Structure 1
Amino acid sequence: MINYDYRDRQTYPYAEKHRDLLIVSEILKEPASIESFDGYRDVNLALADLQIIIARELPDWRAALSSVKGIYLITDPENGKSYVGKADGISGFWGRFCQYANSIHGMNRGLISRIEDIGAEPALNWRITILEVVDLYADNDTVNMRESFWKNVLMTRAPFGYNLN
C-alpha cells in the first residue's frame, strides 16, 4: 500500500517525477484479492495464493477443484526442479491441495527434504499447476498410470526432480 497526497490537476502523473514522495505505508501479507476460478487450464498459483484460496474457502475454486481428480505439477522456481503428483481422493484436487495449504509439502519426501534445506518461507513461492483432469469417478489405476506418464515425460524423478518413486 502506497500513500501519496497528490493534489495536482494532471490526470495521469508521471511516477518518475513523484517517486520520492511516495510512502510505503503497508506491505500486505496476502494479496488484496485472488482471481476467480477461470478454468483448469489456467491454474498456475504460488503456494502462498493456494493457502489463501483454501483458508477463505473461495466457493468457485472449491466447487471446481472438488469435482475432478487429476495430475498436478509443483515447480520450484529457484532451481527449476519439479514434482508431479496426483489428486485421486473423493474430494479431488480440493482435498489434495488442502494438504499442501496446511503443510506446504503435502507429505512428499522429496519436497520435505527441499524445505529442510531452504525453509518454509521460500517454498511458498513454488508454483502449482494442473496438468490433466480426470473424472472424479475414474478408477485409481487410471490416475496412477497418468501420474507415471507425466513423471516420465517431465523427468521429475530424482535427481532431476523431487519425485522419489
Structure 2
Amino acid sequence: MWHNQRRYFHTGQIAICLLYLYDDKWLLTTIKRITKEIDVVDDVGFEAEEIEEYRKYYGRLVLKYHNTKRGMGRTYESMMEELEVIEILSTAYDGDEFPGYENIRLSFSQLETIIRNKRSGWLDALRNQKAVYLITDTSNGKMYVGSATAQYGMLLQRWTNYIDNGHGGNIELKHLVDTKGFDYVKENFQYSVLENYNARMDDNYILGREKWWKDTLCTRQFGYNKN
C-alpha cells in the first residue's frame, strides 16, 4: 500500500480497498489488516495481510458512492452512511465491454484483469491494432508516450509487457520500477490510446506520430520519455 506525506493507516487497522468503475460505482478488490508500518515517504509504506473470510466478495461486490473529495483515503465512519451495496456479481468482475479505442482509459488493475482473464472482446480489439498510446502517472501527472507496431507485437503484446513487469523495457520506466517498486506502477499508472491504426499501416508513419505526441506533450522534458 502506497504512503505519501499523510499516513492513512496504522498497524492493526483494516484497509478496505475499492476500485472505481464508472458512474459512482466501486468494486471491492480486497480487505487487509495492516501488520507493519514502514518509515518511508512516496513508496510502499505498509505491510498487510489479506482477510480470507471476505475473499468470496473480492471482485464481486459492487457499491455506490459519490466521491466529492480529491484525496482517496477515507475512514469508514466518515462514509458508511453513503455506501450502498448495489450488486454482488455471480463471477469476478473482468471489465466492461470494449468501448472503442477513443474511449480507452484503464488503470493498471483494470488492464491486468482484462489481460489475465482473457476478455475476448478486448483482446480481439487490441491484438491486431498498431497504436500510439499514453501512460499517465496519476500521482504526479507525468506521462509516457509509446507506440505499438509490428516489431513489438502490436498493442496487446505491448501492454501485456507492462502488466508483466511494469516497464515494458523502457529505460525511464524501468528506473522508476527499480527505485520505487512495481507496486507504485500498479497503484498509479493509467493507460489510454492517442491514435490507433490497422495492421497494414506502415510502422515508420506510426513512429513519426509517436514523436509528434512526445513533442506536443513535452514528455521528454517533463515526463518519462528518454528519447
TM-score, reference length from structure 2: 0.57
More strand by share: 2
Give the Cα separation in 2 of the matches to 1:62 and 1:110.
27
The 1:33–1:113 alpha-carbon spacing in structure 2 relative to 1, beyond 3 Å, is same
Change (3 A) 1:34 1:142: same
**SS of equivalent to 1:95:** helix
**Secondary structure of 2:197's match?**
strand
Residue number in structure 2 paired with 1:67? 128
- Classify 1:160/1:35 alpha carbon distance in 2 versus 1 (closer, same or farther; 3 Å): same
Please identify the structure whose Cα radius of gyration is greater: 1
C-alpha root-mean-square deviation of aligned residues, in Å?
Answer: 2.4
Which sections of structure 1, spanning at least 5 residues, go unmatched? Answer: 4-15, 23-30
Identity of aligned residues (%): 35
1:135 corresponds to which residue?
198
What does 1:82-161 align with in structure 2 at a 5 Å threshold? 82-89=143-150, 91-124=153-186, 125-157=188-220, 159-161=221-223
Counterpart residue number, 1:7: none
**What residue ranges of structure 2 are gaps of 5+ in the alignment?**
1-27, 32-53, 55-76, 84-91
In structure 2, how many angstroms separate the alpha carbons of the residues matched to 1:48 and 1:145?
30
Higher helix share: 1
- What is the DSSP-based 3-state SS (H/G/I as helix, E as strand, rest coil) of the residue aligned with 1:45? strand
Provide the rounded CA distance (Å) in 2 between the counterparts of 1:40 and 1:133: 7
Structure 1: 4+ residue segments shifted above 6 A: none
Quick check: 2:94–2:117 contact (8 Å CA) kept in 1? no
Q: Deviations over 1:70-123 (max 9, x none)?
A: 100001011111000000027421111111111111111111111223211121
Pairs aligned (count) = 142
Greater relative CO, 1 or 2 (CA 8 Å, sep 6+): 1
